[in-house]
Amino acid sequence: MNHFHSPVPTFSLPKPIARLGDLAYNLWWSWQPEAVRLYRDIDPVLWERSSHNPVKFLQKVERKNLNAAAQDNHYLEEYHAVIAAFDRYINTDVTWARVQYADLIERPIAYFSTEFGLHEALPMYAGGLGVLSGDHLKEASDLGLPLVAVGFLYRQGYFRQRITEDGWQEAINENLNLAESAILPVLGADNQPVIVQVGMPDRSVHARLWRIQVGRVPLFLIDTDVAPNAAIDRELTTRLYYSDLERRLEQEIILGVGGVRALRALGYAPAVWHMNEGHSAFSSLERISELVAGGGTFEAALQKIRGGTIFTTHTPVPAGHDMFPVWMIEKYFSNYWPSLGIDRDQFMALAFQHESWGDVFSMSLLALRCASRCNGVSELHGQVSRKMFAHLWPDRPVEQVPIRSITNGVHLNTWMARRLGLLLDQYLDADWRSCIDDREMWDKVRDIPDEALWEVRQHLNRKLAAFVRERARLQWIRGGTHPVQIVAAGVLLDPYMLTIGFGRRFATYKRAALMLRDVNRLVRLLNNPARPVQFIFAGKAHPADDPGKRVIQDLYRFIKEANLGGRLVFIEDYDMNVARHMVQGVDVWLNTPRRPMEASGTSGEKAGLNGVLNFSVLDGWWREGYNGENGWAIGTDGVLSDAEEQDAADAESLYETLEDTIVPLYYDRDSRNDVPVGWLRMVKESIRTLAPMFSTSRMLKEYASDMYAPAARHEPAD
Ligand SMILES: *Cc1c(COP(=O)(O)O)cnc(C)c1O
């Protein structure tokens, strides 16, 4: 059925360890701590310098180090265990999906997303949406769900962040070196790149395809940087999310229309099409046009494709939804709507919306009309979405608007610290990693001795401090940095002090500066000699979001103040690597969104399964996860009508809980062994309750049972 291949480059490696080569081209290695160690152990310094990218690593590593590994019996033992596990994983017939949904696995599920956060060495993500897509693919692979994913090859990815002495965010765009990435060309039977074409008003854009193998799941990447295209088109897939609307529309046409054509060119006939966010909604039009071309009306074709189409919305505010002025849609689609068998007015009616600034075509409306099953990403976000789109179903009460919710989760094997996993191996069932969503199984976390758990937590605290200081040192060596920036970068961190982490996109609604509202009170907290507190911040603002950049600047100017004693820290260039260190190595994970703006949030889920205690506004996932004993809430389960009052109330709640509850509990130690018994009770409760509920294992099973299976079986939707 499939007429393509993706040759895997070979390395010249010593025979006994030759499989390190093909392992490097399947991201499976990235969520197997033991596989990571196979590379790292050969040359730990080079491993760090290669951004944990095994392809680059194997290209640079010295022969003598490879030879040493190939002759080390202990190393070889580990190597054979990992390779055997890899082969079993790839070749097994026994997967959850095959057992539960034998009929579902016959045809693939196409999954479209503009970003995929798979690994720090593949900068194809901006933030939460991308990391969610990446975790979705990894879990689908683990469960044996036959996903085939479609996205973009961004040659520059998302920008790298530097902070100037005055706290201003600078964006650095680096070119991805394809030759040293785990990105494979997709070639046809003639050994030439597979090319698809997409029409634009006055031209045709060519795109070629690349592939990343994520366990059992292939991810196909569309790339317009090919020869017949004009320079401007070659840049179409250079970066994520252009601010220029017309460029963005062109990108979304390439993703939706081009994505369908790509899968067809490769021979795929998916049973289910999942649009992760509205960016890819044009894919539905392209599928309608396929049917209309075969003879049939637009209405009949729409009904037919709807059955197999799924839409996940992530945006809780109307203005955040992707939309384009009607005139622009007219320019780009007047040649296209005849292929759908409809006229201009019928076409516009699919997604028309009146905004204060003009008439627009809304990608979310288009997606909602073309999908039989839609969902938001947390309970509260489901409610908000039903209300927001209630006007589309005027004959239904708002509770019956057909948008359900599936709360986001995270891929445990990607995000849990290896040391903690080893500890769980001792106290949970032997096969615990294959039943992560089984809540009762996690009750045994209570049996873990406090000392053992504390040892792991402290190890992770130290690891984070070492990581932060090393980055600060490299920044100093790099030059062009004022000494106070090295203090701001965290050289004065103390691994044995209560550490609060805040890592996420700097958008104003996330209210990163909430704890600065009462500076004196904050300074007293930080500098309490007996019970000090330190904060680590990290995160990027979108390059076009000046208010977001100003939040970083205000914070950074404050961080540099000497009276704070270096206890506020800003780590530059938040990415999956920084995120992993932070969600494993801090003690408390702080999140202060303005409710209900955090559709779900996932970084707190990563923290929670590592025993880092969440301290957050009851928004998104935390509103469901918080049980009074596994972390703390900021504010109440409600909202005030006045934003300023809400900020004041939330800031008060934040200070009070920190002063009266969090800080005392952390420093309350058992006099015999210096272990914080009350704290660890909460750590266990966090791991026990949050790891199963907010795993992608639970999430993907919900997608399979509520969305994929009924869509594949053409069951009527509600
Ligand atoms: C998990 C993650 C996010 C998502 O963060 P939230 O603010 O919780 O949505 C963003 N960026 C990176 C690098 C992440 O790892």
Give the confidence band of 200 by pLDDT, cuts at 50, 70, 90.
very high
Ligand 1 atom closest to Cα of 604? 8
Give the confidence band of 243 by pLDDT, cuts at 50, 70, 90.
confident
Instruction: Please calculate the CA angle 331-336-341 and round it to the nearest 5 degrees.
Output: 130
Among 568, 561, 489, 512, CA closest to 536: 568
Ligand 1, atom 9: nearest CA belongs to which residue? 601
Rounded to whole angstroms, the Cα distance separating 19 from 36 reads 14
What is the Å distance from ligand 1's center to 124 Cα? 14
Rounded to whole angstroms, the Cα distance separating 115 from 126 reads 7
What is the Å distance from ligand 1's center to 512 Cα? 14
Return the beta strands (E) in 417-540 as ranges: 498-503, 533-538
The set of protein residues with a Cβ atom below 6 angstroms from ligand 1 is: 127-128, 131, 504, 574-576, 579, 601-604, 606
Rounded to whole angstroms, the Cα distance separating 428 from 684 reads 13
621 close to 589: Cβ distance less than 8 angstroms: no
Largest separation between any pair of C-alpha atoms in the chain: 80
* pLDDT value, residue 604: 98
What is the Å distance from ligand 1's center to 145 Cα? 24
Averaged pLDDT, 19-29: 98
Averaged pLDDT, 144-153: 97
What is the Å distance from ligand 1's center to 122 Cα? 15
Instruction: Write the single-letter amino acid at 718.
Output: D
Ligand 1 atom closest to Cα of 510? 7
Domains, the chain = 15-91 (no CATH), 103-154+226-408+701-712 (3.40.50.2000), 436-694 (3.40.50.2000)
Average pLDDT, the chain: 96
* pLDDT value, residue 241: 82
> Does residue 1 have a pLDDT over 60?
no
Instruction: Please calculate the CA angle 326-332-336 and round it to the nearest 5 degrees.
Output: 110
DSSP-assigned beta bridge partners for residue 170: 162
> How many CB atoms lie under 10 A from the CB of residue 229?
17
Is the pTM value of this prediction over 0.75? Answer: yes
3 state DSSP class of 389: coil
H or E stretch covering 588: strand 588-591
Mutation pick for ligand 1 pocket among 603, 617, 621 (CB with most ligand atoms within 8 Å): 603
136 close to 111: Cβ distance less than 8 angstroms: yes
> Does residue 322 have a pLDDT over 80?
yes
Q: What is the pLDDT of residues 289-314, one digit of tens each?
A: 999 999 999 999 999 999 999 999 99
Instruction: Please calculate the CA angle 334-340-341 and round it to the nearest 5 degrees.
Output: 95
515 close to 558: Cβ distance less than 8 angstroms: no
Rounded to whole angstroms, the Cα distance separating 464 from 447 reads 26
> Does residue 2 have a pLDDT over 70?
no
Ligand 1 atom closest to Cα of 580? 15
